[in-house]
Amino acid sequence: MTSLSTALSQALSGLRVSSGQSALVARNISRASEEGYTRKYAGLATEFDGTARISSINRNAERRLTDVLNSSTTSSDGQKILLDALQRLQQTVGDVQDDSSLAWGINELQNKLRTLESNPANQALAASAVSTAAGLVSSLHAASDSIQSLRTDADTGIQDSVGNINAYLAQLQELNTRIVRTPTGDESLVETLDARDRLLKSLSSEIGIRTVTQPNNGIAVYTTGGVTLFNETARQVTFQATPSLGPGSPGNSVYADGVAIVGPGAQMQPTQGKIAANAEIRDKLAPTYQSQIDEIARGLIVLFAEKDVSATPTLPDATGLFSYSGSPSVPGAATVIPGLARSISLNAAFDPANGGNPFLLRDGGANGLAYKSNATNAPSFQDRITALISALDAPIAFSASTGLPASASIKQLAQNSSGWVEGLRSEASQKSDYLNALTAKAKEALSRQPA
């Protein structure tokens, strides 16, 4: 009778184990597409009487694949922000053949001058050249405004990331404490571990992190630069946003417990995640492009400046067709004036729409008789127009902060600037595609792991 009872108990225990395993399989299937869900499997134990039981519920989580997924997600999310920013800049730059681009505008101004050179007495042609110059000024203003808007948006993005990071770290502290206190084998542990992994994935989307395993399934979290974000307790991350970032104005740093982790003064900054991408845009990408268009503006002011043409010249060069806040002084060579692309303006003395004389472009003299090239008011005078046409093709010195060749014509500088943005945009697009594919592969590999 005893052996029959034992056999029955063993059979029933086998059925219970089989039923429990079937339930796990059904759960794995129904939740397979759920973000962050890991496949579960049963740990089995045999009692002294030969009966079987499910001793634990375990998760099939490969740490290396999870780390790859987090890393690719971090890079992918940051790369998307960078790509979006470059697409915004590319729209500002335009194609060099596009009539909204700076390169096209400078080339068009040169063409208008050539047309005026062939008929220097034609006031309509002179006015047309001045109108094209006004269009260039408007394009520079629009580009500068877009850059500063982009920087302010990036600064706001950093602030949003900091808010998310603090929220995630607070949740991580609660989950990690619960995990450490839960005995191994407890069925609730695997679900809590899944929840923590999902939280780490969200955190890694904001900032590049690395994790270190601690006793009882605990973890510590550091930035990829080595600054502690979480070790038993969450560190406070702080940041002060700047409402409006002007050209040349630095943004503030992000701190973790008083240690700069992103921005000016930060050592070993993370290179991944949304916060790193926004810092790259705010502190490097946008300022570099701003310096390029500021140098284009400076080049236009310098090239169209008037010179003392008296027999014994003693007067300094003075701004002509293009003015700025420092007029009539002409900016120095190869020196970026932050925000010059926004402060440049069309000299009203040349603008017929404001009662000006467009023939000043031909004759000079906006700054007085000493600067007047056409002393006899000859209607066929071409010398100054010819000199301006040549100047647009002549190499001049530009600041190295533009990231472009330090010596080029202003036409080449505008073309190089357009190519610089497009090159970065194309590279970012290719990298974004690669990272999206890598993330998809990591997710697929995790979902297909055998139990």
| Tens digit of each residue's pLDDT (9 = 90 or more) over 204-231 | 889 988 899 899 889 999 998 889 999 9
322 is written with which tokens?
């293009």
Strand, helix or coil for residue 40: strand
Categorize the per-residue pLDDT at 1 as very low, low, confident or very high, splitting at 50, 70 and 90: very low
Residue 391 resides in a domain: yes
Q: What is the pLDDT of residue 54?
A: 42
What sign does the dihedral 304-308-309-313 (CA atoms) show?
A: negative
DSSP state of 267: S
Give the per-residue pLDDT at 17.
Answer: 43
**Would residue 34 count as lying in a domain?**
no
C-beta of residue 356 within 8 angstroms of C-beta of residue 348: yes
Confidence class for position 451, pLDDT limits 50, 70, 90: very low
Determine, yes or no, domain membership for 8.
Answer: no
108 assigned to some structural domain: yes
Mean pLDDT of the chain: 84
pLDDT band at 56 (very low <50, low <70, confident <90, very high): very low
pLDDT exceeds 90 at position 14: no
Count of CA atoms in the C-beta half-sphere (13 A) of 393:
9
Within-domain flag for 423: yes
Supply the range of the domain harboring residue 234. 63-451
156 touches 241 (CB < 8 A): yes
Residue 39 lies in a domain: no
pLDDT of the residue at 53: 47
Does residue 38 have a pLDDT over 50? yes
Give a yes or no: residue 35 inside a domain.
Answer: no
The number of distinct structural domains making up the chain is: 1
User: Mapping DSSP to helix (H, G, I), strand (E, B) and coil, where does residue 60 land?
Assistant: coil
Token code pair at residue 346: 């069309």
* pLDDT tens readout for residues 64-91: 555 556 566 667 788 888 888 888 888 7
284 inside domain: yes
